[in-house]
Amino acid sequence: MSANLVILAALALSARAQSVPVDFDQGTRTKAVLQAAREAVAASVPMPDVAVSRGADGGLFLYGADCGSLQEQVSALASWKARLGETPSAAPACRCDGGSCSVAVDGVVPETVDALHGLRAGRWGPNCWNAALVSAKILPVARFSPPEEMTFWMGSPLCRELAGAEEPRPGDIVAIRDKAAAEVHGFVYISDELAFSKNYLTTVAPYALQSPEEVFGEFPVAAPCRKLAGSSSPDCPAYANVFRCRSLGEYVVSLGRALSREYVSADSEVLAAEREVSALEFGWKSDPALRARGPEILAAIVSRLPALRTRVEAEMKAPAVPEGERLLWSGLLHRIDGIQASIAWF
């Protein structure tokens, strides 16, 4: 086994260990613990008032008992879309038939959500933390994100944790953590009726608009612990912090100066590798020709990463790098880690 494959195998074990019990089935004991927790909260999890589905033409629809409640969700989705710098279109009129109402929301959901809802990857890898970060336009590409990448960005100047008295807004990120403050799951809050989440990194788990209660049904957090400011308390074996984040683009604009050519060049190389890995993760089952070229593509990426990492580390430590840009170099290192961890799942 080559040195690169040894490193990647170690990354796979590390990534999987850090994702338990969220994104990796560790066996009977883990399943039993999760199942017991789910059963403990099942009685308190109400049925969702809003359902989401694709129509025969691929259009995205919300379904509910009445148009009033659906309009509230349309407004929340449009608010999130506008917050991301996208322009929501007017939603078609809500229609009711036989006690059920529906409204098309293609034009009011963020573009990333419209593209991802219902999508399943062809390989294990793309996961919850990445889904939240991509939806917030902090990361550019859907792939596997290690928990450290989630922790890094939530603790960065792009994001701030909401105080206990602050109400979440559409587009805020919810980070579920355990009593040791380790990342367990991440998703996007839209309203009390809607969230956006990829609940597991398996190929059967889709990206989905769903009820927050459905998310908490999979990753149980007691109601008093669901918006806990700061670290956990003894009464919360799992808890949720809520963060309000700017996009990476907004942060760059706030720096008030052009990024260095060195950073733009490195970012372009990292992005190219991310896109190649993502294409393999999502096209592995559906594109036999791409799958056949997969080992060659992955080997080429692996061969480029060490030099790219060395370059990024050197630039990040250079005294002349402005502090605001230094954060972006750190982000590139986390993205390189994410690429390596993604490759480890192949």
Per residue of the chain (346 residues), what is the pLDDT tens digit?
333 333 323 333 333 333 333 333 333 333 443 444 444 444 444 445 899 999 889 999 999 999 999 999 999 999 999 999 999 998 779 999 988 999 999 999 999 999 999 999 999 999 999 999 999 999 999 999 999 999 999 999 999 999 878 999 999 999 999 989 999 999 999 999 999 999 999 999 999 999 999 999 999 999 989 987 777 678 899 999 999 999 999 999 999 999 999 999 999 999 999 999 999 999 999 999 999 999 999 999 999 999 999 999 999 889 989 889 999 999 999 999 999 999 999 9
Give the per-residue pLDDT at 235.
85
User: Tokens representing 36?
Assistant: 């017991």
Buried residues in 45-71 as b, exposed as e (16+ CB within 10 A): eeebbbebeeeeeeebbbebeebeebb
- Residue intervals of the chain classified under CATH 1.20.58 are 250-344
Using alpha carbons, list the distances in angstroms from residue 75 to 103, 108, 162, 170, 191: 12, 8, 22, 9, 10
Q: By three-state DSSP, how is residue 307 classified?
A: helix
Helices (H), the chain: 3-19, 28-42, 67-83, 111-116, 128-135, 147-154, 212-218, 248-255, 261-283, 288-317, 323-344
CA-based angle 233:221:126, to the nearest 5? 115
Is the CB of residue 197 less than 8 Å from the CB of residue 188?
Answer: yes
Give the per-residue pLDDT at 322.
87
Residue 281 phi, psi dihedral angles, 5° rounding: -60, -40
Give the per-residue pLDDT at 168.
95
| Gap between the Cα atoms of 166 and 267, Å rounded | 35
Give the per-residue pLDDT at 283.
97
Give the per-residue pLDDT at 48.
59
Total-model pTM: 0.85
Is the CB of residue 277 less than 8 Å from the CB of residue 342?
Answer: yes
| Gap between the Cα atoms of 121 and 207, Å rounded | 9
CATH of 250-344, one of 1.10.760, 1.20.58, 2.60.40, 1.25.40: 1.20.58
| Gap between the Cα atoms of 312 and 165, Å rounded | 40
